[in-house]
Amino acid sequence: MAVKYTLVIHAGCEDIIPERYGPEAEHEYLDYLHKSLAAGRVVLEGGGNGLDAVCAAVEVLEDCPLFNAGRGSVFAHDGTIEMDASVMRGKDLSAGAVAGVTGIKNPVQAAALVLKKSSHVLLMGTGAERFAHIHGLESAAPAYFQTSRRREEYLAAKKQAGEKFGTVGAVCLDRAGNLASASSTGGIPLKQYGRVGDSPVIGAGVYADNAACAVSCTGEGEFFLRRAAAKRIACLVEIGGFSLEAAVSAVLENIRNLGGKGGIIALDTAGRFSISFTTQGMFRGLVREGGMGRAAMFGPPGAWQ
């Protein structure tokens, strides 16, 4: 029997408060969140699967210069842009990821290619780019990613470090009852030495298992890596008997105790979901079959049932 689909998205968390965003900026951010939901919904309404839906939703966010993924990626310390992405399918635990790519227009599609067209899980750097190009994925020159907004932030950050937890992601339950998840990021501002965070690491920043849940994380990646956050949530649900909300809350509390902060979206095969964060806000959205898409950016998380 077909189930009703659910799609949940996020586009990063930080100190997102009304004082920092005027009405026009708020409208622009929410508009892109709704466009992301709509892209995923088109796939699902057309009979597509959850993996393709999360990729479509994330691709919209990658194309938007407002969010730290794809075109909106932040600059590394040397003035370059390095991007990471991952996807996972819950029905068979298939996964794909890329790390440190520089010329792929939509890294989430490269991650999906690794899942679908290779026997590997994670490809990095020039090897990942070569693989993507062989399979016809669209590339982009450095100038495409180097937006004036990010360059201004980069120059300011060189003078005074700030925090920005920018990752975009999605989790989905499709009509076949299968889960999928995806994440994509430009990393942290001024990162050095080829730093890779949690986003392309299966079990840290992303995970999907029909026996438990689908998860996508955003925040201070080193803490999510150390806690193996996404997999830990799945284990708490499947083995520990935790509710989805309790599992997400426990892991965020673990990360807080380590000194980190961030946000998590999660979803199970019953359509239960969690949207939680320990920052002052998170860009987020939700759509269920037959319902209106909803988006928000300011805290607290609230309840969308």
Active-site residues, by number, are: 167
Residues 26 and 6: their CA atoms lie apart, in Å, by: 24
Q: Which residues pair with 82 in a beta bridge?
A: none
Segment holding 30, helix H or strand E: helix 23-45
197 is known to lie in a ligand binding site:
yes
40 is known to lie in a ligand binding site:
no
Question: What backbone phi and psi angles, to 5 degrees, belong to 191?
Answer: -60, 150
Which of 194, 173, 254, 171 minimizes the C-alpha distance to 219? 254
46 is known to lie in a ligand binding site:
no
Residues 102 and 192: their CA atoms lie apart, in Å, by: 15
240 is known to lie in a ligand binding site:
no
219 is known to lie in a ligand binding site:
yes
Residues 74 and 230: their CA atoms lie apart, in Å, by: 24
Q: Which residues pair with 213 in a beta bridge?
A: none
- 105 contacts 133 by C-beta, under 8 angstroms: no
221 is known to lie in a ligand binding site:
yes
Residue spans of beta strands (DSSP E) within the chain: 6-14, 83-89, 95-101, 122-124, 167-173, 179-185, 206-208, 214-219, 262-267, 273-277, 281-288, 294-298
Annotated binding residues, written as ranges, equal: 195-198, 218-221
Annotated binding residues for substrate, written as ranges, equal: 195-198, 218-221
